[in-house]
């Protein structure tokens, strides 16, 4: 993905809600990216496969705005979805107390709570000089995200029960389905950053 020219960098904590022990990541991204680009980065750092629709929800003063890719085939008449490709992160989330959630796969409904831990801005005296160059990167994280299409939180709990128990009747099938390299406890910052570097 390379570096972005930006006047700010955002430190984000992302946690998949409803799962214990928690599945989480810490990342730093430039404020100049669109929410759609943030979506692509979240797919990489969490470990999803970008195979489903997504939505961002931003709550300000108890009013929620929804961002995604507008599609008349699935939009509900009572919900207005703003185009995430035309929405910059730093123009939408300008302070760390705002509540931003990210939903991936509207069937399994994986909800991610995004906490803005810190926003760093260029000093005023430097704004007219070279802008800050930022390479998106993952700083930390724990545990792999669930396998794609496992069936939401409930399906993931059933999957783990079978995956961890060799005597479970579904153990062998689900191990094969998830793949030989899947381990719910494993997460590699180095592998994620290598993948993040080639996202367009």
Query: Are residues 141 and 153 located together in one domain of the fold?
Result: no
For the chain, the residue count is 200
Query: Are residues 105 and 15 located together in one domain of the fold?
Result: yes
Query: Are residues 114 and 155 located together in one domain of the fold?
Result: no
pLDDT score at 82: 93
For the domain that residue 89 is a member of, what is the CATH number?
Answer: 3.10.290.30
Query: Are residues 111 and 174 located together in one domain of the fold?
Result: no
Query: Are residues 141 and 151 located together in one domain of the fold?
Result: no
pTM over 0.95: no
Query: Are residues 88 and 51 located together in one domain of the fold?
Result: yes
pLDDT score at 123: 66
- The pLDDT profile of the chain, 200 residues, written as one tens digit per residue, is 567 777 899 999 999 999 999 999 999 999 999 999 999 999 999 999 999 999 999 998 889 999 999 876 655 556 789 999 999 999 999 888 888 999 999 999 999 999 999 999 876 555 555 556 788 999 999 999 999 999 999 999 999 999 999 999 999 999 999 988 899 999 999 999 999 988 77
Query: Are residues 20 and 80 located together in one domain of the fold?
Result: yes
pLDDT score at 56: 97
pLDDT score at 44: 97
State the pairing for strand pair 81-83/63-68.
parallel
Q: How many domains does the chain have?
A: 2
pLDDT score at 2: 66
pLDDT score at 7: 85
Q: Select from 60, 122, 61, 115 the least CA-distant residue to 92.
A: 60
Query: Are residues 23 and 46 located together in one domain of the fold?
Result: yes
Query: Are residues 40 and 120 located together in one domain of the fold?
Result: yes
170 to 142, 143, 166: CA distances (angstroms): 26, 22, 9
Determine the structural domain holding residue 32 and report its residue range: 4-146+185-196
Cα 174 from chain centroid (whole Å): 25
Query: Are residues 94 and 162 located together in one domain of the fold?
Result: no
Query: Are residues 25 and 109 located together in one domain of the fold?
Result: yes
Query: Are residues 18 and 114 located together in one domain of the fold?
Result: yes
């Amino acid at each position: 993905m390379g570096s972005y020219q930006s006047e700010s960098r955002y430190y984000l904590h992302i946690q998949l809600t409803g799962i214990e022990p928690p599945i989480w990541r810490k990342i730093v991204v430039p404020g100049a990216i669109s929410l759609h680009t943030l979506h692509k980065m979240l797919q990489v750092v969490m470990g999803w496969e970008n195979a489903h629709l997504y939505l961002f929800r931003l709550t300000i003063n108890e009013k929620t705005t929804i961002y995604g890719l507008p599609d008349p085939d699935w939009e509900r008449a009572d919900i207005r979805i703003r185009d995430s490709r035309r929405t910059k992160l730093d123009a939408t989330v300008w302070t760390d107390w705002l509540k931003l959630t990210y939903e991936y796969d509207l069937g399994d409904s994986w909800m991610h709570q995004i906490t803005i831990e810190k926003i760093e801005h260029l000093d005023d005296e430097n704004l007219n000089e070279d802008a800050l160059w930022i390479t998106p990167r993952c700083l930390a994280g724990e545990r792999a995200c669930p396998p794609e299409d496992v069936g939401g939180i409930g399906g993931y709990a059933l999957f783990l029960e079978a995956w961890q128990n060799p005597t479970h009747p579904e153990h062998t099938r689900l191990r094969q389905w998830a793949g030989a390299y899947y381990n719910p406890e494993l997460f590699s910052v180095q592998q994620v950053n290598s993948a993040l570097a080639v996202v367009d």
